[in-house]
Every structure is written in C-alpha cells, then in structure tokens.
Chains A and B, each alone.
Chain A
C-alpha cells in the first residue's frame, strides 16, 4: 500500500489561471514571506537564548496560514494550535506582539502570561491557540453555533495537525458540526508527522483527515498545502458554503515542516533526503516563481521582501528593548472581576 510519503504532491502545475488577481497574489506572497521571516527570526533568537520556553514553528507550512487568512474577512474567527504563530501573524497581528510573547516581554501579545503556545488576539479574530490536542475543535463548533443562533455571518476556522485526527475530540466535533450544520471549517495541516512518529504508522487510513470525512457525511478534500493559491481557492469555496448555511468542511492540506517538531527536536527520525525533496517544493519558492510567471518584476518582489525584513528587524529591536512583565500581573485576570480572589 502506498504510504502518505509517496503521495506528496508533485510540482505545482497550476498554469496561468488568473482568477486570483494581482493584488491578492501579492498579498499572499507578502504574507508567506512575513511568516517565514518572523519564524526564522524566532529561531535565531532562540539560538541566542532570547526566546524562552518551547516554540513550534510552521517553517515550510506558510501557504496554508496565508491562503486561509487571505480568504477570511474581518469578523471571521481563527482557532489555532500551539503551532500557531503563523496563523496569528496571518490575521494581521504585529510581529512585535508575537516575538514579544515568545521572548516573554511586557510588549508581548499576552504580556508573557500565555507564552508561545497560547497566542490570542481577539481584536484580530485570533480566538486562542490551544495546546491540548483536539480541544479547540469543539470550541470552534461553539463559536459557529453562536453565529448560527444569532444569524451572524462570520465563519470559524479551526487549524490542527494530522496527529489530531486520532483523538476523540476530533470525531466528536466533526459529528457535532455536521449534525448541527455549523458554519465551521476544519483545516488539517498534514505535515506527515505527529510529534516524532510518522502519521502513517499510527493511522488506519492513508489520509488521516480526508479519509474520515465520509463518516460524517462530508466531502473528501485533499489539497496541496504548499500552494497558497490552492489553499486560498479551497478556503473561498468552504467559506461560501459555510456562509450559505450549508454546514462544515474538512480540508486536508499536504505539507511538511522544515524544522523539528519543537525547538528541542533535531528531527533525526526523518529518512535521508526527505527534507531536501520537500524543500524543492518550498511554498515561498513556488510562489516567487509564480509571481514571475505573471510578470511581476524582481524589483517588486525584492521590495516586498525588504519591507517585511524591516518589520521583523524593527520588531526584534523593540522586543530586545522591552522590559519583562511587571510582577503585579501575576494575579490579574483569573476571574472576570480582574483579580484572583476565591474567598472573602
């Protein structure tokens, strides 16, 4: 039987279909480069011992975050995992806020109270990053239920990994969303590994998300997660379906992470050559070439790269200069009254 690894998508051959348009295409490119630069910087800062705790990078998986976020409108909600920096940034959260949280500074998104695995920015529609595998799928259902109940038009989008398809909450949420016809989109980023174990070694079907879709009456969807255009187009369709009241979608995006699972992981378990093969299909490389096919000049591409680098450089300097959080926030916001009192 073919393993998932054999099924890695082939070279992008999407031709010159200009349904996306130059403005959106440039936004998709810019977003991917921004995620790449910010996370590469996070890794460098970790090597300098300036990023503390753990961190889980999405290097190599940027097309999914960019493609889906560019298809969202204000008010749509993102629910992310601990591997959530890219999804958070893709909704427009400033790089400084994310790096500040990773560096545990007072300028961080949650002033150091949450850390890298829990990035949250409700004003940008980022409704939290969840570190218990599967927990946020039912939560996204609840947000979608509220939209359905109140007649709001927003859609909830829930991102998770291939490993998450084997936990109970995944199956509970899919059935629940399908039965209640909720406006929620489940996006599985299949990067071929759970933590260190290949997903094929522990899953009964080749496509851990898509091959379960039929159990919940949903369409089987597998896409090239390294092609931002394909992610964007698929997202648009799923949003239209959700907004029309036609219920949830489950989308499996094939991709690969360039780094280890977390900062502590050198990823020695990968077979030789696998990373190199996937790097040939680096989403940013693919996209840069596509822009050129569409006639975008080298200078225009370099201008985007330079402006992104400046944002990341400025953010880095701001974070290095920022103080650690003050001790008095230790006991704030345990309860809604702002404090932590549990007795009189």
Chain B
C-alpha cells in the first residue's frame, strides 16, 4: 500500500471533500497562499481557487464566527485555528455558539462545520503552543470531538467530520505531521464514534489518543517481550461520540484499564472513561483503573523537561508492570 505523511493526509482529506461538494469551503490564517504554518494545506489554494480557500486576518473570533454563519445558511466550512491553545481567544464560539444554537432554537438552527487545529506537545514550543485541549471540548454538550493518530484516520475521520451535520472539533497532533503510514488509494470515509483495537491482548486494556497511541503500542511490545504482559491497545479516536462499547468489551476481557493521556491531570478525558468503567464494569475489574497523564503543570519548553512530562513508553511500561504486580 502507498505511504503518506499525516501532513499530506490532511491535504488529501480536505481536497477529497472539496472536490466532492462545492459547499465545502476552507478558511484560516496563512492557510491559502502560504499553505499553512505546518504545511498541512499546501496546494489547496492552487487546486480550488481563492473563493474556496481563503486567508483571513489574525481574528480567531471572526474565523469561527464566520464559519458558523456560513454553516447556518448552507455552506460546510472547514475553519483552521493554527494552534489549539488559541481556542482560548475564540472559546465563545466553541462553548456557547456552535453547540447551543440548535438546542436553544428548538431545532431550527444547524451548524455543520469542522474546526481543524494543531494540538499537542513535543515541539518544544512551551506552555502556550503545546497544549492538548481535547478535554476543553469534550465537556461541552452539542460538540463532537475527534483526534486521529494515523494518516489513514486523518482522511477518513476528516471526511466523516465534514459530512457530519454537527459541529466537529478535529484535533491534529503537531508531532504526528511528519509521521508516515499506509493509505489506500481512492476515497476514504470513516465513521465518527468508533474506537479501534489497534493491538489485541488479554492481560490489560490501554486506551490512548493521537500521539499517545504509538507510545502505548511501543510500551505494549516491550511489556510482552520483557514481562510477558499481553496488552490490548485501543485508539479511542473519537471522544464525542464515544465508543464505550468497544472499551467496556475490552475491559470485560482483560479486567484491567489504563489510560494514556497527554492533557494535564485534572479532568482529562481518561477520567470520564474511568468513571464510566467504574459505573458500568466495576465487577469486571481486577484492580483499580490507572490514569497515566502529564502532571498538573503548564508545559515547559526545554526538550529535557518536555520529554519527561509527557507519558513515555517507559513510564507506561513501569506503570502497567507495577500495577499488575509483575
């Protein structure tokens, strides 16, 4: 199968949807002529022209507000917020406007849009350009929240997000842009709300998202090779809708649960899943669910510091090994 980078998968995913539907338009800062600060939108301006691929001023509220007004009245906009940390300057749209207009209007108002953003740490950018904000979005009723870990999922989940009638927050991991993976030719459309078992196993379940998926997989191989522990790794992929059945099914089989989360400790996405498992699968568990997260601190810039705060394969191995008592 041909290989594609995560970055080029973003371009292909957007292009696939824009070619299919003339109502799909794309706006953001430096996204058109310059091809994006992460070079994840290169060529779209040339392919689809200045009416459909539009550079905006540095006006995050205008970007998201305009996307919403266009979505309400018939377009299917994709809006880019360069770094997910910047959600904080346009959070009104994410928290108050997109997700509540349909409900408040008793079903009159629609809001079919996608907000793409560069999320996550690993680039040594420091505390305001490195955060993982999936939990900021997950807590808001009315939104959908997706975070792909592979180039193939980027295309498939982006297509699903664009075709979805609800507002979708699409979190691309900055440290994954350069990674490569196999991607089949032709149209790819995935399904929101589906987790994927990326490594079957019988001794414990590890749930992970985005950059943490490859780290969980690496840890699982080590645990198997060096400690004889057979981990099942689940790529959650979609926080809302959440595929709890896949997770509960796995816990029923392995009897132990670990989450690997990049967001800081308090109110991370894993806490919600742990609470669901505690409610609904308590008697399936042979021990406490364990969350492996970044500590509850702002992210530091220096590589030596950033590297130790994010969950690493080594920390996952140690935590699982100690918890399983081997």
Question: Which A residues form the contact surface with B (CB < 8 A)?
Answer: 77, 109-111, 113-115, 118, 120-122, 127-128, 130, 132, 134-147, 149-150, 156, 168-169, 172-173, 175-176, 179-180, 329, 332-338, 340-344
Contacts and interface: CB of A to CB of B under 8 A. Distances in A.
Contacts of A344: 193, 241-245
A343 to B, nearest CB: 4
Contacts of B104: 110, 113-115, 118, 120, 128
Contacts of B281: none
B2 interface: no
B65 interface: yes
Interface string B128-169: 000000000000011010000000000000000000111000
B56 interface: yes
A138 B103 contact: no
Contacts of B276: 343
Interface string B53-83: 0101101011111111111111101000000
B69 A336 contact: no
B142 A334 contact: yes
Contact residues of B: prevailing secondary structure: mixed
Given A132-B97, A138-B62, A176-B57, A335 B142 contact: yes
B1 interface: no
A222 to B, nearest CB: 25
Contact of A118 (B52, B54, B105): B105
A144 B72 CA distance: 11
B74 A139 contact: no
B52 to A, nearest CB: 8
B61 A138 contact: yes
B110 interface: yes
A145 B68 CA distance: 11
Interface of B: 25, 51-52, 54, 56-57, 59, 61-75, 77, 92-93, 96-97, 101-110, 112, 141-142, 144, 164-166, 193, 240-245, 276
Given A132-B92, A335-B144, A336-B112, 20 more contacts: A128-B105, A135-B92, A136-B65, A138-B65, A139-B97, A141-B65, A142-B77, A145-B66, A145-B69, A146-B69, A149-B75, A150-B74, A175-B59, A175-B62, A176-B56, A176-B66, A329-B106, A333-B106, A334-B102, A335-B142
A179 B57 contact: yes
Pairs of residues from A and B, 9 with the lowest C-beta to C-beta distance, nearest first: A138-B65, A142-B69, A336-B165, A142-B66, A333-B107, A172-B59, A114-B104, A143-B69, A120-B105
B299 to A, nearest CB: 26
B141 A334 contact: yes
A142 B105 CA distance: 19
Contacts of B101: 120, 128
Given A146-B73, A175-B57, A344-B244, A138 B102 contact: no
Contacts of A138: 59, 61-66, 68-69, 93
Nearest to A325: B106
Given A150-B74, A336-B102, A343-B242, A135 B97 contact: yes
B62 A169 contact: yes
A335 B72 contact: no
A140 B67 CA distance: 10
A114 B56 CA distance: 32
Most central of B59, B92, B141, B164 by chain A CB within 10 Å? B59
A159 to B, nearest CB: 15
Contacts of A156: 69
Most central of A115, A134, A175, A342 by chain B CB within 10 Å? A342
A141 B63 CA distance: 10
Most central of B62, B71, B74 by chain A CB within 10 Å? B62
A334 B103 contact: yes
A172 B71 contact: no
Contacts of B68: 138-139, 142
